[in-house]
Amino acid sequence: MKYFLFFILLSLTAVGQEKLLTETEARKYIQNAELVETYIYYETEELFDLYAKRYSGDIIVTSNEIFEVIGVESVTVVNCGLLLLEMGPAEKQTKQKITDAFKKGASFAELTAAYGKDFTYGADDIDLNIHDNLLEAHQDSKPGDSFFVDYPEAGQFYFLVVNSHLKKIKLVKVLHVAYK
């Protein structure tokens, strides 16, 4: 009887567990997935070490996600304050108001509160890749410099303030696919 109960308990435990994909199955799933995202983790982020210690092409499978390490590379970044706003008919006036407020000492939190809406993102300490199309023209900027970058494809514009000089850091790129 004792062995019979143990067998039943073991069977019920096995039914509740789902089998993880093999590496081969995971690679096929990534190739055929409709939505594959690329995540980028900078060396200053917690998850960087988890992926950077692996080899390019390594697959990590969890119960509902697949990750494939693309590789590690060095990039030049600049630490900025960034305020993202939507373009619109009052854009020119908004840019002038933001510039004036910043020159008078307004913080990014104050600017976000004053000019933000649900779509607005503001951060006073973010590392941005200088070779992104948005920042390439401003790679000679110095700490304290501020400028606007228009992103018409998205109907947005950015207000940026350089916090520090350019620096080289590492990043790791990882493909991500959700499944099940």
Whole-model pTM: value is 0.60
d(CA 3, CA 72): 52
Across 61-71, average pLDDT: 93
**HSE, side-chain direction, 13 A CA sphere, residue 25:** 8
Question: How do residues 89-136 score in pLDDT, each as one tens digit?
Answer: 888 998 999 999 989 998 877 887 887 664 455 566 677 776 666 667
Q: Minimum mean pLDDT among 9-13, 51-55, 156-160, 172-176: which range?
A: 9-13
Determine which helix (DSSP H) or strand (DSSP E) holds 108, and give its type and residue range. Answer: helix 108-115
pLDDT on residue 149: 85
Across 147-157, average pLDDT: 85
pLDDT on residue 18: 66
Residue showing tokens 């996600």: 65
Q: Which domains does the chain have, with CATH numbers?
A: 19-75+171-178 (no CATH), 76-167 (3.10.50.40)
